[in-house]
Chains A and B, each alone.
Chain A
Amino acid sequence: MTRQPDVLIVGAGPAGLSAAVELARHGLTSGLVEQRDQVGGAIYRHHVGTGSYTLVMPEHHRRRRDLLIQGLAGAGGQVQQMLQSVLIGVDRDGRFLIDNRPLGRVQSLRPKAVILAVGTVEQVTPREGWELPGVVTAGGMQVQFKETGRAPTGPIVLAGGGPLLLALAAQLAAAGNPPLAVLERAQPLSSMWWQGRAVLQALRSWPDLLEAALYTRELLHARVPYLMGWQVASVQAKDTGLLVTAQHNSGLQRQFQVQHLALHDGLRPNTTGLPVAGEGAAGCIVHAGDCREVLGAAAAVNDGRRAARQVMRYLGQPFADDRRLDQAIAAARRTQTALATLFQAPPIVPTANTVLCRCEGQRRANFERLQVAGSARELRLVGRFGMGACQGRYCASAVSALAHEHGIEFDPGALNGDVQRWPMRPVALTALAAYADEQLV
């Protein structure tokens, strides 16, 4: 990097890209930090495989992606891309520490303003056997499919809840390997009868309806069973694959022998370890896109622009609020709230043998043995919950729910501790040793 950019943006998905383009349009420079070797984020993951490939995706997604990439090209040197680089935290003096992996060293930046757009964490509620190799998140299966253009080989089951399962099932079907079944915990169709208001709100979003129709047509064509009111009770390693035991709300059970099981129980903002949003003498920090509120890619583009405008105002440029951006984001929120209502499902209760914390191999039985743990701090220090490499991103909400049953109250975020600690992500000691303060002006 040749000079300190005006604004640091972390994450080059729809929100980060949109913010970078908007800043450049108004003459501001940004440093765009992205953990992958290309921009676009998980939603716009590039296809790098060979041969033909069909990604079932609505046209409006493609248009938005192309506009962002064009905008980035138009911004030229005003956006300094730092690829394969990871934000590992903020130190006591407010320096943002970036693990620049191609350079093999940690760099620091102290920008006047920061836009954090690091997307979501996919929720996977612990079930017996979810920790086994071959079990992936639905989003994890989807990004790999986008990248290679190939569906995983062997039988697949998708399970959990929400519209992403439908999208992924349609994409796999179009690629020639339809899942054996989609197990949806909720009863979205019957919910429609008694959640009329939610249906009306969802109907107001025409692009989302078209998207749902596109996926449904593909699933009907491939005859993929969409089983509602079903959930995964357990997963066992069997032969060279997985034996998935599914259970209906009525108690009825069914088994599937598969190679791959993709789970998805919703999305949550990926804020673990991030500094909180706010404006102060030390600078301005804005969360944007799904990292602020999970509303999807279209809203993230608008939210990125809004974040850029907030930053420009902070830096002294006279910008009025843009009502249209606010309205578009509010509309996305209505749709998401309606979908959440339609896909409401009973909670999954972990059995004693269920792994709660995969990083440390801690099961529910280990939790129950922690008689003395009366606080989030003790759960961390004695029980090791939230102390693993994922830093509680996957176990914190489940542990919090169990603790609640035992009369211990804490926010899932509390599992990470009161004090922000870095690194948020593993970093090589060699990269830390080669640290260089980049206070270049």
Chain B
Amino acid sequence: MQENPPQTLYWHLQAVPFHLGETIAAALLRAGIVVLGDAAGGMQGRYFCGIGNCQACLVSVDGASPVEACLTPAQPGMCLTPALQASSTPGVAT
């Protein structure tokens, strides 16, 4: 088994450990984070299909446009926020 030391990303201000090669969604699940913020229509963001189809796990990475947590590789130092929050705050997207 290759060495794969734990790395850290952030959900809001909460530190979330992960291993390189994992998706954002896998890291959040292990940390027990299942509610990915408010979503349209009074719904809540969540991991669901795992293959980029349902678009329910969209998160914003470092304030940029939303991406699917289930597809996007986790990277050290990423700051994640709910997708809706980022898109409803003009000027935040970079």
Contacts and interface: CB of A to CB of B under 8 A. Distances in A.
Contact of A147 (B22, B36, B45, B56): B22
A322 interface: no
A430 B52 contact: no
Given A147-B22, A359-B40, A393 B30 contact: no
Contacts of A101: 67, 72
A122 interface: yes
B65 A426 contact: yes
Interface of A is mostly: loop
Interface of B is mostly: loop
Interface string A123-137: 000000001111111
B21 interface: yes
Given A50-B1, A132-B46, A134-B34, A389 B53 contact: no
Contacts of A110: none
Given A48-B22, A389-B55, A394-B54, A140 B46 contact: no
Given A144-B50, A426-B66, A361 B43 contact: yes
B67 A361 contact: no
A50 B21 contact: no
Contact of B29 (A48, A86, A144, A388): A144
Interface string B43-71: 11111111111111010000011110011
A336 to B, nearest CB: 20
A135 B52 contact: no
Interface size grouping (class) on chain B:
35 or more
Contacts of B65: 426-431
B8 interface: no
B16 interface: no
B80 interface: no
Interface stretch (A35-43, A342-350, A396-404): A35-43
B25 interface: yes
B15 interface: no
A18 B58 CA distance: 31
A143 interface: yes
A140 B49 contact: yes
B91 interface: no
Contacts of A388: 40, 55
14 contacts: A48-B20, A84-B73, A136-B50, A139-B49, A140-B48, A143-B70, A358-B41, A359-B56, A361-B42, A388-B40, A390-B54, A394-B54, A425-B52, A426-B67
Interface of B: 1, 4, 19-23, 25-26, 29-30, 32, 34-36, 39-56, 58, 64-67, 70-73, 93-94
Interface of A: 35-37, 42, 46, 48-52, 84, 86, 101, 119, 121-122, 131-137, 139-144, 147-148, 150, 152-153, 270, 355, 357-362, 388-390, 393-394, 425-431
